[in-house]
Amino acid sequence: MGEKRKFHLPIFSLLEWVMILCCLITFITLGVIYKSSIFEIVSVIFGLFAVTLNMKRKKYAFAVYSLYVLIYGIVSIVQKQYGEGILNLVYNLPVYLYTLYKYYFSKNKNDTSDFKISKLSYKGYILIGILIPLITVSYGYILTLIDSKLPFLNALATSFALIACFLASKGNISQWIFWILYSASLVAVWAINFQNGGEAGLLYLVLNSIYILINLYSLILWMKDLKKERIDENNDN
């Protein structure tokens, strides 16, 4: 008898596909129940696929990220979460578009669909430790001047996102730590927004709660991949 052919699911494992489908059903159901706009529902779907494609180290994840932050940034502005809106439209979107350019159009591009994992140095962590309070206080003050909701909590979330987005563009494993912190901050932001009657609050509250779990899973997955890569490099040497 011939060898049995294994059923192969592209990109994601069976468990990951189940996770994604459960998330999609949850988002769409909540969106319909709470009468979320089509833009809000589409944005969370893009957000889910962006983070999971990044988890699998696919370069085209940044195309999906770009669509997500564009729609999410506009929704945030409408909800008067100006910190989130400005962050995504003014910073995240250009960074993701530049990352796409770097991976697909620059002279240093390569033909692989995946990117390598890098690590943050101790000096990098020290610099980040200095930047977080500086960004939180200064940007929080600016947000108070434009009457943003939860200005300093938004600014804290922004500081985490600035770092996470930059590290993501470098394929750095430490991005997942700051994505977890960012998502945890946004759980608080959108929970308060929903409690105060914001229509988009619940959908983004659930999205970021799920993001915490996905980011934690991604961190563990990348740690395993990084260990495997180093073993392979040592064997080659």
Q: CB neighbours of 142 closer than 8 A, spacing ≥ 6?
A: none
Question: What residue spans of the chain are helical by DSSP H?
Answer: 14-33, 38-55, 61-78, 82-86, 93-104, 122-145, 151-169, 175-195, 201-236
Tell me which residue has tokens 């809000």. Answer: 40
Q: Where are the domains of the chain?
A: 14-108+117-236
Instruction: Answer yes or no: is pLDDT of 41 > 90.
Output: no
At 204 the pLDDT is 76
Half-sphere exposure of 233 (CA within 13 A, CB side): 7
Cα–Cα distance measured from residue 191 to residue 112, given in angstroms and rounded to the nearest whole number: 40
SS3 58: strand
Local confidence band at 215 (pLDDT 50, 70, 90 cut-offs):
very high
Cα–Cα distance measured from residue 231 to residue 237, given in angstroms and rounded to the nearest whole number: 10
Local confidence band at 127 (pLDDT 50, 70, 90 cut-offs):
very high
The rounded Cα 89 to chain-centroid distance in angstroms is 14
Of the candidates 176, 134, 177, 173, the residue with the CA atom closest to the CA atom of residue 156: 134
Local confidence band at 10 (pLDDT 50, 70, 90 cut-offs):
low
Instruction: Answer yes or no: is pLDDT of 84 > 90.
Output: no
Instruction: Answer yes or no: is pLDDT of 109 > 80.
Output: no
Burial 68-95 (b: 16+ CB within 10 A, else e): bbbbbbebbeebbbbbbbbbbbebbbeb
Q: What phi, psi does 172 have (nearest 5°)?
A: -90, 135
pLDDT digits (tens, 9 = 90+) for 169-187: 888 999 999 999 999 998 9
Local confidence band at 237 (pLDDT 50, 70, 90 cut-offs):
low
Cα distances from 100 to residues 45, 169, 232, in angstroms, run 20, 9, 28
Cα–Cα distance measured from residue 216 to residue 46, given in angstroms and rounded to the nearest whole number: 19
More confident residue, 151 or 116: 151
At 5 the pLDDT is 43
Local confidence band at 8 (pLDDT 50, 70, 90 cut-offs):
very low
Q: CB neighbours of 17 closer than 8 A, spacing ≥ 6?
A: 9
At 136 the pLDDT is 94
The proportion of the chain whose per-residue pLDDT surpasses 70, expressed as a percent, equals: 88
What's the pTM? 0.81
Please compute the mean of the pLDDT values over residues 40-55 and round it to a whole number: 89
End-to-end CA distance of the chain: 41
By mean pLDDT, which of 57-71, 194-208, 211-225 is the weakest?
A: 194-208
Instruction: Answer yes or no: is pLDDT of 1 > 50.
Output: no
Instruction: Answer yes or no: is pLDDT of 9 > 60.
Output: no
Cα–Cα distance measured from residue 123 to residue 216, given in angstroms and rounded to the nearest whole number: 24
